[in-house]
Amino acid sequence: MRHAPPLRTVSLLLVSAAIFFAAAFERPAALAADISVAPEGRVRVELVALRTIEEAEALVIDLGGVIEVVSGGRIQALVTPAAEAALRAAGDVVRIEAPALMMPLQALTPAVVPADELIGAARWRSAGFSGHGTRVGVLDSGFHGVEAALGNTLPADAVLRSFRADGSISGGTEHGRRAAEIIHRTAPGAALYLVNFSTVTELSAAVDYLIEQRVDVISFSLGYIHNGPGDGTGPVNQVVGRAADAGIAWSVAAGNWAQQHWAGPYRDDDLDGVHEFAFGVPENGHQFTAGDLITVSLRWDDVWGAACSDYDLALFGPDAALVRAARGVQNCSGNPVESLQVLATRTGTYYVRVVQVRSDLPRLLDLMVVASPDRGLPLEFATAAGSLSQPADHARVVTVGALTVAATRQEAPYSSRGRTVDGRLKPEILAPTGLAASTAGFGGTSAAAPHVAGVMALFKEAFPEARRERLLTLIQSRAVALPLVPEGSGARRVDLGTLVGLGPLLPVGAEGARILGAAAAADVPLALVIYNGPDGYPARFLHLAAGRPVQAVWAFKLSGVESYARGRPAWANSLTLVDSGQVLMLRFAEQ
């Protein structure tokens, strides 16, 4: 039975007084992992240039500010409180953005899935594929312990780069390192770029760097809450789109919030101005442990950047006392979002209320109530549909959900999902949430996304010309449809799959294929050989059996000579498959 807090017996007058005359709402700090602290007497601000970036920079400097990062029309700077006020008043030159709410998408899952066997990566590696020649960027908040991992669970030549204001690659968290270890285990031949950040502006600069480094894939296991209207747009999604335009494929964690999310129309049966989650129930409860960082965010369907309707949030503790209120003013300006963050001082159920201050019509509400660390505890009233984080709602990323560890594989109940606000179905794929002993305890969609990033690296080696769209097609074509958990509302693709059954491009037994003849002589440019292996071996992968780069192949048959040349147009490649016992002429590429 659900226990109502004593607050329900208080009159509307007292409830309103508690909400609107509580201690002043404090602006929430960004939840980017362990963001560096601004020097005393200054605050860190993120600005968006409304005219030119040069004008914005000049204004910051004129006000005595110190510019830390400039990227993508954004500026991150240290300024005095007086300068911050002046920047807020300069609404025709710059706009100050509220700190984004970002969290690692790591769930506390005790079991570890035998992912190599499940996704078939071990078979690809035994066939000779390792992700060699591909570059994978791991964007995260921190890589604590990375130095000891280099040459062990990570490649010795991994590139490390921090875009945090304090330059710390550790960032106070192992989250990024563990994600990178999954990629390295899946595709050990891929080059890794481990890059961390704290703010959206730092993220923008980090993405600029990865574009410059010409990475093929970016793995992203972090989630932003209400950093856009939910249709794939918004500040973070804008940064992601820039990399997608450059041809980079993104593997993005869907989020772990399907059970910590509620969505539905504003409802007020008793006309007291307080939303009801069910008839006569004006709050939604969530269990927290003392010391948890509680994040509550509300978004509603109004114009992004020009919201005229106004809703407020209030959080009450286990003793029914008001803990924190979010009472920003939306007056046809600003975003339709209210959010708050606070540390739980005691263990118990905390209750969220939504108050309608002003609205021309009942709005659709979207509420997220999560904790750090994420203990996976559900809201009393939860809606799985529409629970995606950002940038998992972006149209051009591969959104990765979590696979259960049960004997019957299916979508994990906590795994966030669509539809997006504009009606798109997400995620595209499900993947395992654990890999090896070194990743034990690292789960959730944070672990699922790097599995898919590793698979992308294997595909990129096999299909060097494949771009973002092609990589997604390759993954989906090898996916297996699985049953979905009940959602209650919303729609999902019935063919949503997992990497179960992912088979190698090469036929069974291909790892034992050999070339018999003079192929082993390193100084011989041409060799007449006999292929010994399973029938139907793709000719373009004969370099794996030969142990050397092969530039061209000729096959001798009774009917004549068929040729295959690597890199030629498809119509010129008449030889595609070879059978055991065929006589071949190989021309080796210079090494």
pLDDT at 559: 61
Question: What is the pTM (predicted TM-score) of this model?
Answer: 0.81
d(CA 257, CA 261): 6
470: Cα separation from own chain's centroid: 19
| pLDDT for 520 | 59
pLDDT (0 to 100) of residue 524: 73
- Tell me what pLDDT residue 377 has: 93
**pLDDT on residue 5:** 41
Last residue of a domain, one of 466, 498, 530: 498
Asked which of 59, 80, 99 is the last residue of a domain, the reply is 99
Please tell me the predicted confidence (pLDDT) of residue 124: 77
Question: How far apart, in whole angstroms, are the C-alpha atoms of residue 465 and residue 467?
Answer: 6
Determine the average pLDDT of the residues in 273-286: 97
Tokens linked to 580: 């055991």
Unique residue bearing structure tokens 């591909």: 134
Give the lowest-confidence range in 13-27, 131-145, 564-578.
Answer: 13-27
pLDDT for the residue 368: 98
Report the pLDDT value the prediction gives residue 32, as an integer from 0 to 100.
37
Please indicate, yes or no, whether residues 111 and 88 belong to a single structural domain of this protein: no
Count of Cβ atoms closer than 10 Å to residue 49 Cβ: 19
Do 335 and 442 lie in a common domain?
A: no
Task: Say if residue 283's pLDDT is above 50.
Answer: yes
pLDDT band at 224 (very low <50, low <70, confident <90, very high): very high
Q: Are both 76 and 125 inside the same structural domain?
A: no
Q: Where does the pLDDT of residue 31 fall: very low under 50, low under 70, confident under 90, or very high at 90 and above?
A: very low
Q: How far apart are the first and last CA of the chain?
A: 72
Most confident of 32-46, 298-312, 475-489: 298-312
pLDDT for residue 500 is more than 70: no
Would you say residue 406 lies in a domain?
yes
Residue appearing with tokens 């921090």: 162
In a domain, 575, yes or no: yes
Residues 6 or more apart from 429 whose CB is under 8 A from it?
398, 399, 400, 401, 452, 475, 476, 479, 496, 497, 498, 499
Whether residue 403 sits in one domain with residue 319: no
Q: Is residue 38 part of a domain?
A: no
Residue 11 falls inside a structural domain: yes
Report the CATH number at residue 108.
3.40.50.200
Q: Is the pLDDT of residue 580 over 50?
A: yes
The H or E element containing residue 383 is: none
Residue 488 has pLDDT above 50, yes or no: no
Average pLDDT of the residues in 68-82: 96
Q: What is the distance of C-alpha 337 from the center of its chain?
A: 21
Q: What is the pLDDT of residues 429-452, one digit of tens each?
A: 888 886 443 445 688 899 999 999
Q: Which of 400, 337, 509 is CA-nearest to residue 182?
A: 400
pLDDT at residue 564 in the model: 58
Give how many domains the chain has, as a whole number: 4
Residue finishing a domain among 78, 99, 120 = 99
**What is the tally of helices (H) and strands (E) in the chain?**
12, 30
Residue 33 CB contacts under 8 Å (≥ 6 apart), including other chains: 104, 141, 142, 171, 172, 173, 175, 198
pLDDT band at 108 (very low <50, low <70, confident <90, very high): low
pLDDT at 471: 83
Q: Which amino acid is at 129?
A: F
Residue 15: its pLDDT value, please? 30
Average pLDDT over residues 72-95: 95
Q: Does residue 381 sit within a domain?
A: no
Q: Are 541 and 553 contained in the same domain?
A: yes
Confidence of residue 44 (pLDDT cuts 50, 70, 90): very high
Amino acid letter for position 105: L
In whole angstroms, how far apart are CA 548 and each of 135, 384, 401? Answer: 22, 51, 39
pLDDT at 569: 43
Q: pLDDT band at residue 299, thresholds of 50, 70 and 90?
A: very high
pLDDT by residue (tens digit) across 336-352? 999 999 999 999 999 99
Say if residue 566's pLDDT is above 80.
no
Residues 158 and 16 in one domain: no
CB 554 within 8 A of CB 584: yes
Per-residue model confidence (pLDDT) at position 497: 35
Sign of CA dihedral 456, 156, 112, 251: negative
Give the Cα separation of 428 and 425 in Å (integer). Answer: 8
Looking at the fold, whether 530 and 401 belong to one and the same domain comes out as no
Let me know whether 253 and 271 are in one domain: no
My answer on whether 128 and 75 are in the same domain is no
CATH number (domain holding residue 84): 3.30.70
Looking at the structure, tell me whether residues 431 and 450 fall in a common domain. yes
Q: Is the pLDDT of residue 204 over 90?
A: yes
Within a domain: 503: no
Bridge partners of residue 46, in order along the sequence: 76, 97
The model's pLDDT over 138-181, given as tens digits with 9 standing for 90+, comes to 999 999 999 999 999 999 999 999 999 999 999 999 999 999 99
Phi-psi region of 118 (alpha: psi -120 to 50; beta: other; left: phi over 0): alpha
In this structure, the answer to whether residues 471 and 522 fall within a common structural domain is no
Count of CA atoms in the C-beta half-sphere (13 A) of 107: 32
Verify that 253 and 400 share a domain, yes or no. Answer: yes
d(CA 356, CA 265): 12
Helix (H, G, I), strand (E, B) or coil at 584: strand
Q: How many residues does the chain have?
A: 591
* Domain CATH for 20: 2.60.120.380
pLDDT at 64 over 90: yes
- Of residues 557, 538, 548, 559, the one with CA closest to residue 589: 548
Distance CA 467, CA 456 (A): 10
Mean pLDDT of 124-145: 89
Q: Which domain holds residue 544?
A: 510-588
User: What integer pLDDT is reported at residue 476 of this predicted model?
Assistant: 75
380 located within any domain: no
pLDDT of residue 432: 82
**Cβ atoms of 8 and 282 closer than 8 Å:** yes
Q: What is the CA radius of gyration of the chain?
A: 27
Q: How many CA atoms lie within 13 A of 333 on its CB side?
A: 7
179/433 Cα distance (integer angstroms):
10
Which residue has better confidence, 16 or 204? 204
Residue 346 lies in a domain: yes
Residue 367 sits at φ, ψ, to 5 deg, of: -115, 130
Q: Which of 100-109, 187-196, 374-383, 495-504 has the lowest mean pLDDT?
A: 495-504
pLDDT at site 114: 59
Poorest-confidence range of 20-24, 300-304, 325-329, 533-537? 20-24
